[in-house]
Chains A and B, each alone.
Chain A
């Protein structure tokens, strides 16, 4: 069965703190894709990153970094030096290659609040 778990429902930090959002997934496929999306209060889901199961290299994009570890089925997201504009709900998602048409399984989301 495919499943995505984001155990942290809400996180509150003060500006400039580093924060890590956890994501654990379950799949029986050997080929799959993992995603992170950001949903600000406006509602639109903004694509942040896509990773395929064969690429375990960590990625850094500005203040954002992602740690993909197949051994623990985790795809964690770290924001360095958080800012108030980072306040949003963040979703981790999984798609299996055998699902033609790109069915995404979303986690419950983590609501991040960054206070000034």
Chain B
């Protein structure tokens, strides 16, 4: 595997289900991100992890719970979602440096539908 991978690619879940999205980066990066992309809206940053520590939570509802066990893996645990949470969820990684930002590389996304 190369780059950033995400599984599953498509997910349909009911409002009472619990599911998890998985992201894995094979680039040796130390920062990982979750974004939400809804139809007709710009990408919204959800969470940022640097060296496995969460450094940003962009006012995301608690029904979304991230987990970063190591620098290569990132999960997004989903619980009691709402239909408006249906979106494309994108994971990205970068080599975060001291002097600012480095390029983020994205995975293919998980298309989530909440019924």
The answer to whether A101 touches B106, judged by C-beta atoms less than 8 angstroms apart, is no
Cross-chain pair count, CB within 8 angstroms: 71
Stretch at the interface among B12-20, B60-68, B73-81, B107-115: B107-115
- CB-defined contacts of A102 to chain B, threshold 8 Å: 31, 33, 48, 94, 96, 100-102, 104
Q: How many residues of B contact A (CB 8 A)?
A: 28
Q: With the chains together, A37 CA to B18 CA distance in Å? A: 32
Q: Looking at the assembled complex, report how far the CB atom of B11 sits from the nearest CB atom of chain A, in whole angstroms.
A: 13
- Interface residues of A, count at CB 8 A: 26
B31 touches A101 (CB 8 A): yes
B45 touches A103 (CB 8 A): yes
**In the complex, A101 Cα to B33 Cα: how many Å?**
9
Once bound together, how far apart are the Cα atoms of A107 and B37, in whole Å?
Answer: 12
Interface 9-residue window, one of A13-21, A38-46, A73-81: A38-46
Contacting pair B42 A108 (CB below 8 A)? yes
**Which residue in B50, B101, B111 is a CB contact (below 8 Å) of A33?**
B101
A50 in contact with B103 (CB, 8 Å): yes
B89 to A: closest C-beta gap in Å: 10
In the A-B complex, the 5 residue pairs with the smallest Cβ-Cβ separation, listed nearest first, are: A97-B100, A102-B101, A45-B106, A95-B101, A44-B108
Spell out B's residues near A (CB within 8 Å). 31, 33, 41-43, 45, 48, 50, 55-56, 88, 90, 92, 94, 96, 98-109, 111
